[in-house]
Structure 1
């Protein structure tokens, strides 16, 4: 379930995402990039993050953030899933935290790192709240207190993201610099500072997400026109890009009956 933020937060928050499910223990999930960053409040059972090709694992804190993901992540749920996720615009989290986006790339960090004096009380309030709208209001109040005038989006970053999404990720870096009338170096620096992924990589993520959106609407059309509608040269090109971003193929994606979010799904354990 997606819920839009209040107008005061719309400059940095895209939407709130609610993920709930009753699972038996020890179910593995795959999370991969959708081009956004997030702040997660877990009010369900513990989540375990598998690191370094599943050789290491760590219990995730009940409040954490994640930056732009250049590599997919594997997460195990220990039972009931209950997550309230603040899905930020691509530049939203770095703007809120006043940190260069490149420093957050592929990072999953405890919220205590940034809000050590408040996070325990905030998590208690979310746990004790009886309904999801009350939980969202608690988080909105928290984020509103953290907003300042300096949290405004960088104009170039905002305009470039808008342009990339308008074309569903199908503009080259040369086309972007030509339309925006800037140098490639300036574009790269802007993305490092405010987005966290290079513009070419970010565009690739958006192109894949656009394809998956089409696929969810028309799953039987995968073998034909959807590949080309999304801007891929052929099926092999699509599969290669999809596996690079998510670690799975389009067929594996659409075969999953438990799609909790567009970029968060249950996968079989190896």
Structure 2
């Protein structure tokens, strides 16, 4: 379920996403170009980090930056997640954390803001109604929102252009449309988003392909989707999808697998 944020947060929060499931499972998260803050009001989550083979516990509330690769997450019980899906520059705008420092990182809110954030997590878990949970999350985010209008206009404009073209745009075309030099555009993206404009456009294009897959009708083949989103052929689409998510189109579309556009239940 998606819920729009209060207008006071509309410049940094795309939407709130509520995910609830009673099925014990492993999940896979991969990049959709956004950052986010997660409040877990269900059973504990674990994930596979880079340095340990054993699953590491995730905090009750955490923020995540841009992902270069997919991550697996486990829960041994009920899934109960409230996610504030931020714009690509949202984490930097809200929390004043440089985007490069958040790249491929999962950071506990307590580590950033102290133990007072535990009160919000406890209140979200205790509130029976979804709208009350969202109100509490909004209050937490608003307390950290400072000067939202200071987001770089160049990056915001470039992101809008990339989405209007579903990622089917080159950096050269982007520089012509924004009037910026390629080096300037690259530097601003790295500073505020944590990845290059080329990488962001590629993620946007793949998310467009995934939307087409979810809505695929009998008259549109996988090869047709590949052509529509600018891949040379079906094999290139499958390869790029596996690079991003580690999944084939068939695995992605398995019944009951899709919890969110970039969060998939893994079925062994």
TM-score category by the smaller chain? over 0.9
Match of 1:253 in 2: 252
Structure 2 CA distance for aligned equivalents of residues 46 and 19 of structure 1 = 14
Supply the distance in 1 between the matched residues of 2:236 and 2:223 (Cα, whole angstroms).
14
- The residue aligned with 2:232 is 233
1:257–1:117 CA distance, 2 compared to 1 (3 A) = closer
Whether the 8 Å contact between 1:96 and 1:151 is mirrored in structure 2 is: no
Counting matched residue pairs gives 267
- Equivalent-residue separation in structure 2 for 1:182 and 1:101 (angstroms): 21
Partner of 2:128: helix, strand, or coil?
coil
Q: 2:18 is matched with which residue?
A: 18
2:48 alignment partner, SS class: strand
1:109 corresponding residue in structure 2: 107
**Aligned pair partner of 2:88 in 73, 87, 90:** 90
* Structure 2 portions without partners, runs of 5+: none
Q: Find the aligned partners of 1:144 and 1:135 in 2 and give their Cα distance.
A: 14
Looking at structure 2, the residues matched to 219 and 60 of structure 1 have their Cα atoms a distance apart, in angstroms, of 39
Shift of 1:117: 3.9
SS of 2:7's equivalent in the other structure is coil
Aligned to 2:2: 2
Partner Cα separation in structure 2 for residue 214 and residue 54 of structure 1: 36
SS, match of residue 247 in structure 2: coil
Distance 2:51 2:213 in 1: 28
Distance across 1 between alignment mates of 2:28 and 2:70: 7
Matched, 1:263 2:262: yes
Q: Is the 8 A contact 2:223 2:233 kept in 1?
A: no
Whole-Å separation in 1 of the counterparts to 2:224 and 2:248: 17
Q: Deviations over 1:188-209 (max 9, x none)?
A: 1111111111111111110010
Of 143, 167, 170, which residue of structure 1 is paired with 2:168?
170
Distance in 2 between the 1:97 and 1:256 partners? 37
8 Å Cα contact 1:188/1:198 also seen in 2: yes
Cα shift at 1:85: 0.2
- Which of structure 1's runs of 4+ aligned residues deviate more than 3 A? none
Contact 1:168 1:210 in 2 (8 A): yes
Return the alpha-carbon distance in structure 2 between the equivalents of residues 110 and 206 of structure 1: 27
TM-score if structure 1 supplies the norm length?
0.94
1:51 CA drift (Å): 2.2
Is 2:186–2:197's contact at 8 Å kept on the other side of the alignment?
yes
Q: Which residue number corresponds to residue 179 of structure 1?
A: 177
**Deviations, residues 102-152 of structure 1 (Å, cap 9, x unaligned):** 110110111012110421111111111111110000111121122122563
Q: What SS is found at the alignment partner of 1:86?
A: strand
Gaps of 5+ in 1: none
User: Is the 8 Å Cα contact of residues 215 and 222 (structure 1) preserved in structure 2?
Assistant: no
Q: Which moved more, 1:179-188 or 1:164-173?
A: 179-188
